Amino acid sequence: MFIGLVLALVSVYFRLGGRARGLVIGGFSSYVLFAVGWMVLGIAGWRSDKFPAWIGLLFVVAGLLGYNAGMPPYGIPIGLVMATLGWWIIRTGAPAAPVGGATTSGQAARSAGHLADTSR
């Protein structure tokens, strides 16, 4: 199955006479953006307090380690972090986000308090 992709890329490379730079650039950028996406997810989840900081850090590390996640053994770190996030959600009973973006803790109301003085 995986050799089919390699053979397809090699045959395109030879058909184009070695001018397959677009394939190389596209393949490389997809691996880089995949890793960066997981790292950004970890940072965003950590900063927004959607999950604990240690899980966010695990996402960042898994993004770095899972750079070649398109190949079999390298997807394991990302899978383990996703399983850890699922375990944390089940263990803590983290509620789903309410519809409309309102928070249950009143964080949005407190952060909007600097825009209008509601104490009067």
Query: What pLDDT, on the 0 to 100 scale, is given for residue 61?
Result: 93
Q: Determine, yes or no, domain membership for 24.
A: no
Mean of the per-residue pLDDT values of the chain: 75
**79 belongs to a structural domain:** yes
The count of structural domains within the chain is 1
Query: pLDDT digit string (tens) for 62-110?
Result: 998 887 777 778 888 899 999 999 999 899 887 766 666 555 555 555 5
Q: pTM for the full model?
A: 0.60
Report yes or no on 72 lying in a domain: yes
Cα 5 to Cα 54: distance, rounded to the nearest angstrom: 37
CB atoms within 10 A of CB 77: 20
Total Cβ atoms within 10 A of residue 42:
23
Residue 102 falls inside a structural domain: no
Transcribe 7-39 into DSSP letters: HHHHHHHHHTTS--HHHHHHHHHHHHHHHHHHH
Q: Could you list the residue range(s) of the whole structural domain that residue 70 is in?
A: 49-95
107: tokens are: 């964080």
